[in-house]
Amino acid sequence: MSRAVLSIGSNLGDRPAYLQSVLDRLGGQGRYGAAALAVSPVYQTAPWGGIEQDDYLNAVLVAASSALDPLDWLRLGQECERAAGRVRELRWGPRTLDVDIVDVDGEPLDRADLTLPHPRAHERAFVLVPWLAVDPDARLPGRGRVADLVAALPPRERDGVRRRDDIELVVRW
């Protein structure tokens, strides 16, 4: 059984629908043998990386699967992005959907196509704040407790992650 932490975000088009599509694809047909263990609230955040663009909607999913290894989680994320019409033109640019694999089973992995834990997760409030909301005891391997990482972020970073109670992701399976 593998347990994955996925960070999802969207800042183009129907942002809530693109986020929901990840949950729907994950378990909709049961072909991944996956189950959502936790789904964070949705947060609105300013874009990261210095590119002028609209705000993102972000959330974190904690999921488990008896069939997926880390590279399968990556393929699933990329499949979700393709289905949402994601085009990779500009690094840190706007996107219909971004699915980042943050961690799988707390095990490090260093490959050209996937590094775990995600190498920049510890400095991204839009990952850490939603993750902390669904798992107060979460730990980012090699970095420590997520609660401590959130506390160490600059206040401007933390305050820039605004909960959107008007948007809810729903597990439909």
Q: Which sequence positions are flagged as catalytic?
A: 86, 95, 98, 100
Sign of CA dihedral 45, 46, 47, 48: negative
d(CA 104, CA 82) in angstroms, rounded, equals 22
- CA gap 122, 143 in Å, rounded: 7
Alpha-carbon span 67 to 72, nearest angstrom: 8
Percentages helix, strand, coil for the chain (3-state, rounded to 5) are 30, 25, 45
